[in-house]
Amino acid sequence: MPGENLSREEARERAAILSVERYDVALDVRSAVGAADGDRPRTFRSTTVIDFRCAEPGASTFADLLAPSVTSVRLNGRDLDPAKVFDGSRVALDGLEARNTLVVDALCAYSRTGEGLHRFEDPEDGEVYLYTQYEPADSRRVFANFEQPDLKAPFTFQVTAPEGWTVLGNGAADGEPQPADGGGQVVRFLPTQPISTYITAVVAGPYHVEHDHYSRAAAPGEGGAGGRSAVLDIPLSALCRRSLARHFDADEIFEVTKQGLDFFHEHFDYPYPFGKYDQAFVPEYNLGAMENPGLVTFREEFVFRGKVTRAAYEHRANVVLHEMSHMWFGDLVTMRWWDDLWLKESFADFMGAFSQVEATRYAEGWITFANRRKAWAYRADQLPSTHPVVADIRDLEDAKLNFDGITYSKGAAVLKQLVAYVGRDAFLEAARRYFKRHAYGNTTLADLLAVLGETSGRDMAAWSRSWLETAGVNSLTPRVGYDAEGRIAELAVLQTAEPAYPELRPHRVAVGLYRLTAEGALERYARAEADVAGPSTVVAELAGQQRPDLVLVNDDDLTYGKIRFDDASLETLRGHLGDLTDPLARALAWAAVWSLTRDGLMPAGEYLALVLRFGGRETGIGVLQSLHLQARTALASYVAPQHRGTAARELADGALRELRRAEPGSGHQLAWARFFAAVAGSADDLRLLGGLLDGSARIDGLDVDQELRWTFLETLTAEGVADAAVIAAERARDDTASGHRHEVRCLAARPSAAVKAVAWSEVVESDRLSNALVEATIAGFAQPGRRDLLAPYVQPYFAALEEVWASRSIEIGMSVVRGLFPQFQDGTAALDAADAWLDGHPDAAPALRRLVLESRDDLARGLRAQECDARA
């Protein structure tokens, strides 16, 4: 990447001498509309005034700014030469005084990559939409600042925009919009509370906006710093592009929002600190959402254009609540540096599920957490790049890559274990003290451990050393001995760790005993909780119980660790996994057999057989969709090449059977339809998909809406049945931004060497595509079904890596490096090429090496799993 990578040491040195009193930022975005100026980047004017103090008068420092050009720089009334003080990413500041005023007038570039101020033109109606996205350090693409989380300050924004646009910021508008010289409108916002640069935000454009409000009477004694009124009255809004308005279910979003605000006010005892609460669903978004205080941004795919399952609504509700919890964990109290990113993301991931289960209709949230979120954590924790939850973040590139399964989901799982360890009341009381003690400030691990120690009376330093400051995942296996009467003589939980990360942790676990009933159900008849420590822990409470058919360690999913089984339990699951009556226990069993498959301990074919045998009986739609995703991964990466054709046919046959069996119009029917399309390959399968598209075939209750049409068409395209003309006709039917992305993906999926060459060139050799179209092109290019067409790109991939990383923004660089890695190759040629590149490029950017190393590890894991499957 360009020379813009702020290091932790630079940030510490700057924070040691600077404190920021205020920002005043003026943006003129009228240039977003109208014709572009040839091939030059489209720019907007950005003027920033920063008042700040310096503890060492005479010292030097720098402000951050990524901009094509700077018009003027003035420091304490002195005009500085931009050509001398601005190097493209930093503004050098010398001779500081005790109190300073910096004024920077610049031309900043609109973004096509989702970083900074992103500009999107809707192909459906030609309207232009803007939004900002900064985390971890892209506000400097929009205005000059000190880009690090511990230099908080109040911000006052002023935005000059086209007439009629909706313009929103973190705070409420300061009066009505005023006419702008030369046309348009000027919107000025009230100053914010002290916040970090990366969570400031602007959204502007002809958005469709819906309004509501939240009211809550104050509880006696409830409150935070600065006093409060007797009633909380928070204006709410939800917005999306005008062309999506017909699909927008704002009422459902407002319902979850109000439920969340009720929950967090009741449990946090600190009123929502940022006035209003806007939620903007924006196009071409790189993330799921972002917690900008007062103006949360979401990817617009959460506005559902077609029928989706309950799991999609559950996931959206979880994201709404995740971002809302950030208003306290992250925005009110912010980590000092990205080492402690978990202080906001782990808590938000945990609180999202916690509040969802207790405050909304989505009571299955912990099942989804156990089955999906923790799967992400277990994968990340077994990569060579694994790290402690409290990470060692050297610079901004490190920070960008640490938004991973460890920081989010392992951290959240550890917090769930913490609640079991210290108790719910002590945990929530610690949160309340944490907010009141550190409001509008910055914290580290030590600050959180201090309040947890106060409320729990536990040794939090020892707990932290085991859970937060070491990497790796433990495995928990039951060992059962029986007496002469067949009763349990002793049940012990064995704990192991990988040699590279040998820490054996303290686990608060539940152990469940299950047996088959006369009716064929697999039900729990005994349960005991125990504190597992060291290599072996006896669960004395279960001695004397009747022989179980299944022993489930970590029943109720209290801790974070891989579940293993004794031989008898595993044999029970082979024949009766679908007979587990408790949905959480069943989800845990599914997750455990998937872990065995990934680790090369269960043949992939056996896992797929379990999915085919029991998947149709799975009542949880979220779990079912996870099974489908994992089955696709197993087929593509874990099944031995000689078994792949048979496995694919069996999966397609089974998927079609379950599709026809599913309740008409149900979410399960929709899930099986999507899965069938993903694995279909025979001539009969493809004829059925084509018939469902043209109306000559029908499955009772299945509504083939526009989104499902594209799903079917991608398979037909990848299999060479549908050509460019068919894709063009579908795009004409769906002439929208979503339709364009689907079109690009389908075009790149066609099984042609010439097509793959064009797609490769557009992503690797050109920078003209937006982030969303890069993503769509890569997805179409990297089809696992035609490995022969991807094989010629193994060596070109490694040859292009350093140039791609040096010339693209980090977001696009990450997409290209991950998305084009030669994952779908049989044999060791791609693995050898990855090893050769890693050995030959020891000085490549650490973040780039990490991405390659992670993909290399996935490939090696797949090859090991294929060896296991080949022996079956």
Beta strands in 485-580 (DSSP E): 488-496, 507-516, 522-532, 536-538, 550-553, 562-563
Cα 839–chain centre separation:
31
CB 179 within 8 A of CB 100: no
772 token code pair: 């969303």
CB 639 within 8 A of CB 608: yes
Query: Exposure of 627 by Cβ count < 10 A (0-12 exposed, 13-18 middle, 19+ buried)?
Result: buried
CB 608 within 8 A of CB 650: yes
CA dist 299 and 318 (Å) reads 14
CA dist 692 and 685 (Å) reads 11
Residue numbers annotated as active site: 323
DSSP 221: T
CB 818 within 8 A of CB 847: no
Q: Which residues pair with 792 in a beta bridge?
A: none
CA dist 677 and 679 (Å) reads 6
CA dist 704 and 584 (Å) reads 32
Nearest Cα neighbor of 316 from 256, 369, 269 is 256
Task: Work out the number of other CB atoms within 10 angstroms of the CB of residue 508.
Answer: 18
CB 760 within 8 A of CB 795: no
CA dist 559 and 741 (Å) reads 40
CB 620 within 8 A of CB 581: no
Sheet bearing 116-121, strands edge to edge: 116-121, 128-133, 202-205, 166-169
CA dist 699 and 547 (Å) reads 46
Query: Exposure of 672 by Cβ count < 10 A (0-12 exposed, 13-18 middle, 19+ buried)?
Result: buried
CA dist 431 and 451 (Å) reads 8
Q: Give the type of residue at 108.
A: C
C-alpha Rg value of the chain to the nearest Å: 28
Long-range pairs for 730-737: beta carbons < 8 A, 24 or more residues apart:
733/706, 733/709, 734/706, 734/709, 734/710, 735/123, 735/124, 736/123, 736/124, 736/243, 737/120, 737/122, 737/123, 737/124, 737/241, 737/243, 737/283, 737/284
- In sequence order, the 6+-apart residues with CB closer than 8 A to the CB of 440 are 152, 193, 194, 195, 225, 332, 333
- In sequence order, the 6+-apart residues with CB closer than 8 A to the CB of 105 are 45, 46, 47, 70, 71, 72, 73
CA distances from residue 816 to 223, 563, 778, 805 in whole angstroms, order as listed: 47, 34, 8, 9
408 token code pair: 């989010």
Nearest Cα neighbor of 794 from 820, 759, 765, 755 is 820
CA dist 104 and 143 (Å) reads 8
Which spans in 327-369 are helix H? 342-359, 365-368
As a residue count, the chain comes to 872
CB 849 within 8 A of CB 812: no
Q: Backbone phi, then psi, for 388, in 5-degree steps?
A: -60, 160
CA dist 675 and 678 (Å) reads 5
Nearest Cα neighbor of 594 from 376, 857, 331 is 376
